[in-house]
Structure formats: structure tokens, C-alpha cells
Chains A and B, each alone.
Chain A
Amino acid sequence: MDLGTVAQVLVLGLAFGGLYALIASGLTLSYSVTRHINVAHGDFLALGLYVLFSVGGTLGLDPYLALLVVAPMLFLLGFVVFRVFLRPVIHTAPIVVFQLFIGMGFIIQSGLNIIYTGNALNVPSAMALHKLHVGPVVVRTADALAFVVSVIVCVGFYWLLRATEFGRVVRAVAQRPEVASLMGVDIGRVQAWVFALSFLLLAIAAALSAPILVLRPMMGLEISLYALIILILGGMGHFVGALLGAFIIGIATSVSLFVGGTSMSAAVPFAIFVIILLLRPQGMFGAR
């Protein structure tokens, strides 16, 4: 195995890792302030990808540019999903909310199936075939871009959480919602904003992954499952844990894809998940 191949596998793994990080960090944030898991998270990503396909196709825009249209749309959708669907049932049993999101996921899947048929689609992008040459190493530009941009976005989000008034309020709601409300925090508003932001992260992930992925209406379920295991691996609601988990799963996916093809890469993240959970049932960063 030569240096070029190693670099390609690594960069693909980092690209996957970055995309998973965007997806899972949004999920972990929305979980931390609502204590409910959006199990349709991956389906909303799929929805974002198809909208990107249509918007890009209609306006003749590259997915990277179509993001400017799709990002506000998904942000707004996140707001609406929280206000209209989650908020009325947020104090009911977790299983009710679980069913709600499972239902939304299925509706999205069949909706996409009806509109776009079940055939696999590619989002046309000038970047799809573009390659970067760094000395002897050749990597796909889209992979490198997915990694670099998602890391920048995640660092930005980390800064938002650690160093701004909004971030402090989000952490307060995650740690002690009732006490936060005693300090003048409108919990419902914070939850709505965080939900919308988690959808904004999905839009960014959609644009970055559009040149890499093949679109299928059912793809969301698999992505939700990956995001869920990253959420658990990182320690439920732990932002940095989710980022680390995302890169572990991303690189594992890429390596197993290279070694054993798609039949192996589908199983490896789950195998890692089971092994880490046996060693640390509370996740890598979770408190016991």
C-alpha cells in the first residue's frame, strides 16, 4: 500500500468524520436541551440533500452555492418542527417523542420516494471529479473541503457554546433547565433556537456531502443510526465527545471501506460501538 492510497483513505475518513461531526453535534445539542433524541435527524439531512439537488438543478447552482438558499430553509424547518411538533409533547414520555420522530422519518422517506422515485441520484457538482495534487498524494477536493469546512464550523460552534451569552444559556438549560428559568431564561425559546441550529448544521453537512454521496430516499435511517451511536459514544449530550466519536467512526468507516468494501464498512462502526460500550458504558466522556 503506497503513500497515496494511505492519504486517500485517511482524507476520506476525515471527510466522513467531519460530516458525522456536523450531524452528531447538532443531535447532541438538541438532545442536551430537550432530553429527547431526534431519531429522524438523518432523514432531515436526506431531505436537505434532495432540496439541494432540486434547488441546485433549478437555479443551475453548485451545491456549495445552493447552500445559501437551503441553509435558511432548513433553519426555519428546524424552528417549525420544534414549535409545531415537539413542543406540544415535550413533557410526555420519551417513547411518545420517539414515535413522533420515527413517524416523521417515514413520512420523509416515502415523500422523497414519491417525488424523486427510488432511483439513486447524484447532485451535480463541479467539485465531484476535481482532485488536489499535494506532492505524490492525490486527494478528492470534495473530501478535503468536507473535512476542512466541517472542522471550522465545529470549532465555531464550540466557541459559540463556550464564549457567548447564548452558549452559556444553552449550557445552563442543558444542566439545570428549571434553575435557568429562574434566571430569566425562556427555555422554550432556547430549545427552539438550538433545534433550528441543529438543522442549520444539517444543511451545511448536506452541501459538503452532496458531491460525495449517492442520494437514496431511505438513506436517512442509516445516518440517524450512525449519529445515534456517536451520540452515545461521546457521552449523551457531550459536545466534544460527539466530535471525537464522529472522527473515530469516520476513519473506521473509511478504513473498512478500503479493506473490505461496503459490506464490511456497514458493520465496523457498530462493532466499534459495541466494544467501546463494553469498556465504558457511559460513553467516552459521559459521567458514570
Chain B
Amino acid sequence: MLSVEHLDAGYGPLPVLHNVSLEIGAGEMVALIGANNAGKSTLLRTIAGLHRPSAGRVLFDGRDIATLPPHEIANLGIVLVPEGRGLFPEMTVEENLLMGGHVPRARWARAETIESVYARFPVLKERRRQVASTLSGGQQQMLAVGRGLVSQPRILLLDEPSWGLAPVLVRELFTVLRDLNGRGLAILLVEQNIRFSLELSRRSYVLLHGRVFLSGDSKALMKDERVRKAYLGIED
């Protein structure tokens, strides 16, 4: 469904990604792990159109989307839940969800999708008139994921969803993501929490210094000593 081919990207003269290729099939859950500054966020931002690659292609259903602006990519069903959650801090819970459904492909069914998000996360319904910045960390994460769902994603890109969450909330998030994937939603998960993401995903890619260092079956990678090294940013 989504494939990245030989992607190079960077900020000005500073290169971040080198010849990165990866693939996510329909309904698949794929994890992208690696140390800080490995280029994980840059890769997600480039797929979502927030960042222009300097070389390579991003194919979605066979079409090259690397040069499309982010608002058009969103309308194809590629939905990024950005690092740090990206909530509109001065808007209410409900307004944040309504923004998720602003994208044309999702707007016609917005009222129903918001109701289904409320059914999944009842606390959001209770607090729907509350301003987003006053929610707890766990509730903010629910809102960020919920808002992504209102956009009716065909593939959900999650950038460090466990960031700032207590372990018990990480488990809860884990369950939600597994359930969403079980219903056929493709997910590309970027995480620093290796165990969490390897347990959750079927396949994984390990980035090291902007390159794909390892990739394969998540269960196999869990036993691979090199993963731990890559996470610490050490090459053999």
C-alpha cells in the first residue's frame, strides 16, 4: 500500500535520511525503531508531506506522492499523529476532533466517526467541552489518536505515541493499537520503546544514523543483539 523507495532527506545542508526504503502492506502493523536522531520523525514527516525529500519516491497505491502538499496527502487517507501529540491547545476536545474530520474525505461522516471515538474513549465524551491543554497526558494521547481516527485513515502514522505516558497507560495504548490493527487499519509506528513496538508489530525496521540498519520479523529482531546496539546508536 505504502512504499518508500531510496529516500534521501535532510534539513538544508544537513542530511538526515540516506537511501531509506521500506514497505507497509494493507492492514499491516509495522514498527520503526531506533535511537534519538536516527531520522524516524523525519521519515514520518516526509511521508506526510511536511518535508520534501531530496531524492527517492514515496508511493501510495502506486502513485508517487513525494511532491504533494500535506493537505492533499491527508486527503488520501495517510494520517500522521505527530510527535508530542500536536493537539490544538486552546481548542476543546470536541473542536480538536472536528478538526480531525475537516479533511474532505472524512467530513461527510464526521458526526458518526466522532461518536465512535467517544464510544472507544468515554472520558473524551465526558470532557468534550474541556480545553485540550487541561487534559492529563493519557487523555491527551487518547485525543490525539481519536482525532487521527476521525480523519478516517487508510494508514495511521504514529510518532512516539507512548511519549510521556506512565507504564500502565502505555499498556492501554498498546491494546487500542492492537484492536485498531485487528480491524484492518494499517499502522506505521515510530517508537523509542523497543519492547512495546516489537511486541505489537509483525515486522520492524531499525534505523541507525538515517539508514535502514536491520529489518525483518519482529519476533526475530527481539532476540537480535544488534537491535539493542542500534538503539544505543552504536555500530559494530
Contacts and interface: CB of A to CB of B under 8 A. Distances in A.
B100 A183 contact: yes
A168 B50 contact: no
A172 B69 contact: no
A184 B88 contact: no
A175 B82 contact: no
A178 interface: yes
A181 B102 contact: no
Contacts of A171: 88, 90-91
A180 B74 CA distance: 10
Contact residues of A: prevailing secondary structure: helix
A159 to B, nearest CB: 15
A183 B151 contact: yes
B70 A182 contact: yes
Contact of B48 (A165, A176, A182): A182
Contacts of B80: 182
Interface residues of A, number: 17
A82 to B, nearest CB: 17
A184 B86 contact: no
B128 to A, nearest CB: 14
Contacts of A184: 71, 74-75, 102-105, 151
B135 interface: no
A176 B90 CA distance: 10
12 contacts: A171-B91, A172-B88, A172-B102, A178-B70, A179-B88, A181-B49, A181-B71, A182-B70, A182-B80, A184-B74, A184-B102, A186-B71
Nearest 10 CB-CB pairings of A with B: A184-B103, A179-B86, A181-B70, A184-B74, A175-B88, A183-B102, A184-B71, A186-B71, A183-B99, A181-B71
